[in-house]
């Protein structure tokens, strides 16, 4: 089933079509939620809330091609709401390291260093860098998730990387 027909069926109330759409991207949804909330349990809760919200609001989606960026934006907003309700800041996130070092302590140290570096940035710059480089989203998708223009997303990444270079060394070509 192609994207357009699956979204059309989901808009007509087909839970099966909606679940098929979500299951096709479940790993990406999970990774996105995990980067924001920092643990498996909260990531799964956020995904469950996203499914309910998408089901309730899918009639508002005008462009079927935008389903995935739209649903990921809903997921990010739910994660941010969850964090606000918990009144906490995620300082440490763990990412699976596919194909990298097999030493979990080495991976953990590297992840903590990355998080420490990102703490030097404002929340918008850190979010943009996480979306672009940790989740490997293109600028257009990252911009939609953050609810900003592509130019703003690029600017946040650029300014964040510039600040990291200034703080931790490296060369910046201007």
| 163 has a pLDDT exceeding 90 | no
| 86 has a pLDDT exceeding 80 | no
3-86 shares its CATH topology with 104-168: no
Rounded mean pLDDT of 39-59?
92
pLDDT score at 96? 41
**What string of DSSP letters covers 25-47?**
THHHHHHHHHHHH-SHHHHHHHH
Quote the Cα angle for 92-93-97, to 5°. 135
pLDDT score at 105? 45
| Letter string b/e over residues 45-64, b meaning 16 or more CB atoms within 10 A of that residue's CB | bbbebbbeebeeebeebeeb
| 19 has a pLDDT exceeding 50 | yes
Domain 3-86 has CATH 1.10.1740.10: yes
Highest mean pLDDT among 45-49, 90-94, 102-106: 45-49
Dist CA 146 CA 38 (whole Å): 18
Question: Which percentage of the chain shows pLDDT scores above 70?
Answer: 81
Give yes or no for a contact between 24 and 6, defined as CB atoms under 8 angstroms apart: no
Q: Residue 94 — very low, low, confident or very high, per pLDDT cuts 50/70/90? A: very low
Rounded mean pLDDT of 24-36?
90
Question: How many alpha carbons fall within 13 Å on the CB side of residue 30?
Answer: 12
| 149 has a pLDDT exceeding 90 | yes
Dist CA 98 CA 95 (whole Å): 9
The domain limits of the chain are: 3-86, 104-168
Looking at residue 64, the DSSP 8-state letter turns out to be G
CATH class of the domain defined by 104-168? mainly alpha
């Amino acid at each position: 089933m192609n994207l357009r027909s699956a979204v059309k069926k989901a808009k007509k109330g087909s839970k099966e079509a909606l679940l098929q759409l979500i299951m096709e991207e479940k790993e990406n949804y999970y990774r996105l939620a995990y980067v924001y909330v920092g643990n498996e349990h909260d990531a799964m809760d956020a995904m469950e809330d996203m499914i309910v919200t998408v089901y309730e609001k899918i009639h508002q989606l005008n462009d079927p091609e935008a389903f995935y960026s739209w649903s990921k934006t809903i997921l990010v907003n739910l994660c941010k709401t969850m964090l606000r309700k918990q009144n906490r800041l995620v300082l440490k996130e763990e990412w699976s390291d596919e194909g990298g070092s097999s030493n979990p302590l080495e991976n953990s140290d590297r992840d903590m260093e990355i998080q420490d570096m990102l703490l030097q940035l404002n929340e918008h710059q850190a979010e943009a860098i996480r979306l672009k480089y940790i989740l490997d989203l293109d600028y257009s998708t990252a911009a939609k998730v953050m609810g900003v223009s592509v130019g703003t997303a690029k600017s946040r990444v650029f300014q964040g990387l510039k600040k990291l270079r200034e703080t931790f060394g490296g060369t910046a070509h201007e």
